[in-house]
Amino acid sequence: MQFFICLIFLFVLLVYGQYSPPSATYSTQQVPYNWLTLAFVGSNDYLPRPHYHSTDREHFKELCRRLDGLNPNQQALCAENPFSIPFVARGVREAIRECENKFKFERWNCSSRDEVTETRHGKFQDILGKTLRSANKEAAFLNAIMAASIVHSITKGCNTGNLTECGCDSKPGMQRYQAESDPSMSRDQFSWGGCSDNVPHGIRYAKKFLDDWETAQFDKTKNVAHLVRRHNNFVGREAIAQNIRRQCRCHGVSGSCEFKTCWLQMQKFSQVSDLLKKRYDHFAVQVTRKATKRLRRKERTERKIPLRGNEMAYVHRSPSYCEKNLTAGILGTSGRECIHNSYSSESCDLLCCGRGYNTRLEIRQTQCECKFVWCCEVKCKTCTEEVAVHTCK
């Protein structure tokens, strides 16, 4: 009998041992992993001050633990490089802004109904979470642009000297790059100089921040969504790596190009997002629902062709995004502003999914008949005009 009680006791201990104390994992149990919430991390809430406990790793760890939505890998990376997190956050903000710009006139306008949960560290908003976790085309775009934004902003951080663990690229010749468009310039001898963008470091960081977790999860669960996400992260990084340009400056006698110094530079982020939007529009490939090692195209005749770095991958076809569906986080196009007399996707017919539109008259004040008055002033009149605003039903 005593033996029996002992056994039960042991069993209870074992079961409890499986769970860690609830207070410690409060946030991780409540909220899903969504690192886009870093968008809310301003420099005020998160300040890893170097002079304060600068050697104390525990302090950084604690700071990182407060960032809800980071997965354990990202938490570790944060504790290792605490100063990189504000750059990641800046990247996310920029990526969301670009995404909203590029999708302004489409049925999915890079918005979703985000759930907000109360955690120990404040409010947690699951930014674009439902879209991000589904494996459709929009998720593919989001993953790609987010990965690109990390590479971009970390690289910029290295370049400007705000990040201590990296600097300008010392071996720019090792990178893939495109020389200037002018062929007469590219033939000349040149020496590397200036500060080349350290894209390889940005890529390494983004890989660690995003890919390691997906790889580990895929090995564990064999869920193809992880592979898809990893691939789309790769597409995002490639969008930057494929478009590095060599910039040069001549400093021969009176500006001749006898001596030339060159350095490497990334494209502007808006151009990168343009490129990714094109890939979303034209180079998105549906892949099979199951995969053992690598992604395979769904199209039977093309199964053998591996996915390229400019092709986004998705598993499920997207919903129409026309009607509101709060469980899926879809806001619907009702109430969206549309453009009359247009034939592209922002036209009232297409954006409103055939439901029609309402017209409202708005009085707008604009400055008009501006004149330059000597010296030095510009005087304008205010004109009121009535503008018809169309919104979807």
Q: How far is the CB of 322 from other proteins (least distance, A)?
A: 6
Of 165 and 299, nearer to other proteins (C-beta) is 299
**Rounded CA gap, 154 and 91, in Å?**
8
Q: Looking at 90, 93, 107, 296, which residue binds other proteins (CB under 8 A)?
A: 107
Helices (H), 72-136: 72-80, 85-102, 129-133
**Rounded CA gap, 391 and 333, in Å?**
9
**Rounded CA gap, 57 and 161, in Å?**
22
Q: How far is the CB of 108 from other proteins (least distance, A)?
A: 9
Q: Are 146 and 127 spatial neighbours (Cβ–Cβ below 8 Å)?
A: no
Site residues for other proteins, window 345-374 (CB under 8 A)?
345, 348-350, 352-354, 356-361
Of 141 and 269, nearer to other proteins (C-beta) is 141
Q: How far is the CB of 290 from other proteins (least distance, A)?
A: 19
Q: How far is the CB of 35 from other proteins (least distance, A)?
A: 27
Q: How far is the CB of 348 from other proteins (least distance, A)?
A: 6
Handedness of CA 11, 14, 18, 21 (dihedral sign): positive
- Which phi and psi angles does 168 have, rounded to 5°? -70, 160
Site string for other proteins, 59-98 (x = CB under 8 A): ----------------------------------------
Q: Are 243 and 197 spatial neighbours (Cβ–Cβ below 8 Å)?
A: no
* Cα 235 from chain centre: 12
Q: How far is the CB of 69 from other proteins (least distance, A)?
A: 29
Q: Are 295 and 227 spatial neighbours (Cβ–Cβ below 8 Å)?
A: yes
Site residues for other proteins, window 309-348 (CB under 8 A)?
317-320, 322, 340-341, 345, 348
Site residues for other proteins, window 137-156 (CB under 8 A)?
137
**Rounded CA gap, 55 and 21, in Å?**
28
Question: Which residues make up the interface to other proteins (CB under 8 A)?
Answer: 106-107, 137, 317-320, 322, 340-341, 345, 348-350, 352-354, 356-361, 388, 390
